[in-house]
Each structure stands twice: as structure tokens, then as C-alpha cells.
Amino acid sequence: METWDAVRARRNVRQYADEPIARADLERILDAGRRAPSAGNWQPWDFVVVTDRARLVELSKVWARGGRHIAHSAATIAMVAAEPEDARRRELLYYDFGQATANMMLTATDLGIGSGHSSVGDQEQAQRLLGFPDGYLCLFLIGLGYPADRPLRPLVKPDRRPFDEVVHWDRW
């Protein structure tokens, strides 16, 4: 897929076909995250990949409000970071994780694989399941799987504010 097509085709996919994702495709998605830019190139991320169904079901419970799709994903990437030292580092951390997320989601789209964010509420449950060390946080989950609803195609009318309302040329 062309990059421009992948940008327009990505959407949150929360219903997944019962089809595994090939290891090479998962590795490409993870590598896209690893290659993302970060402040001072500090690369604050660790990724824990979960594919076991029973563990995915348990993982989905860390965010009861919006994490149900994780239970049905073919694989989920848990994005883990050391707790930031201060507010400035926290801001940078979230910016950098956003960039890694976008890289991974676009790469998944390019492969025809759907992706869907989930926040993380219960850090204790996340740590118990994922086994990351004390002093670390699981910031987000990205559920992955082939879409069960419809294939990923460029969206003609995305649910977005109009271009001319968002974009200011030269000056607001």
C-alpha cells in the first residue's frame, strides 16, 4: 500500500477475524515502533507482545471502559516505560509513545492488519500479567488483528473536523 493510502485507511479496528498474524508481520510492526523518533533519541519504550488467548482475555481487563477488543485480538502490543522522573519527562514520554504508536499502526495498515488503542487503568494487573519490573508503567495497549468487519481501504469521508477549520496558513 502507498503511504498516503495507509494514512487514509487506518482506523480503529475493534473486531478481529479469527486469524493469526504471521510472526514476520508482527516483527515488522514492532520494528516500526522501535524506529520511531524520540526526544534526544532516548527510546523510552519496551514492547511486550501477547498472543495467548487466555492472557489476552485477562489483559483486556486492565481497562474495563475501552479495552474489551484486546480479548479478541490476534496479538496485542503492550507499550511499557520506566516511570518518568518529572513532569517534563512525562510530556516527552507521551509524545514519543504517540509517535511509536502511529508508526506501528500505519505499518499494520500497510499489511492489511487492523489496530486499536486501549488505555491502561489497572497497573497492578498489567504488571502481574506482563511481568515488567517495578518502577515501570504500561502506558497503552495496541490490539492487532485482521478486520472482521471490512477490509482497510482509504476512507473517503473520515470523521474529522474540516480541513479549513484545522489548517491556518501563515497565521491563525
Ligand X SMILES: Cc1cc2nc3c(=O)[nH]c(=O)nc-3n(C[C@H](O)[C@H](O)[C@H](O)COP(=O)(O)O)c2cc1C
From 8-16, 17-25, 29-37, 73-81, span contacting ligand X (CB under 6 A): 8-16
Distances from the Cα of 157 to the Cα of 56, 80, 109, 160, angstroms:
33, 34, 18, 8
Q: Write the DSSP string, 131-150.
A: -PPTTEEEEEEEEEE-BSS-
Interaction between residue 118 and ligand X (CB under 6 A): yes
Distances from the Cα of 39 to the Cα of 1, 28, 31, 81, 97, angstroms:
29, 23, 18, 14, 11
Interaction between residue 117 and ligand X (CB under 6 A): yes
Interaction between residue 11 and ligand X (CB under 6 A): yes
Q: Which amino acid is residue 112, in one-letter code?
A: G
Length of the chain: 172
Least Å distance, CB 117 to ligand X, is 4
Interaction between residue 66 and ligand X (CB under 6 A): yes
Provide the CA 62 distance to its chain's centre, in angstroms: 15
By CB under 6 A, the count of residues binding ligand X is 10
d(CA 118, CA 107): 18
Least Å distance, CB 145 to ligand X, is 14
The 3-state DSSP class for residue 85 equals coil
Closest residue to ligand X in the complex (CB): 66
Least Å distance, CB 171 to ligand X, is 28
Least Å distance, CB 121 to ligand X, is 9
Interaction between residue 119 and ligand X (CB under 6 A): yes
Least Å distance, CB 83 to ligand X, is 18
Identify which of 145, 110, 113 has the alpha carbon closest to the alpha carbon of residue 16. Answer: 145
From 10-18, 27-35, 126-134, 163-171, span contacting ligand X (CB under 6 A): 10-18
Among 3, 7, 12, 42, binds ligand X (CB under 6 A): 12
Q: Of 21 and 115, which has the nearer Cβ to ligand X? A: 115
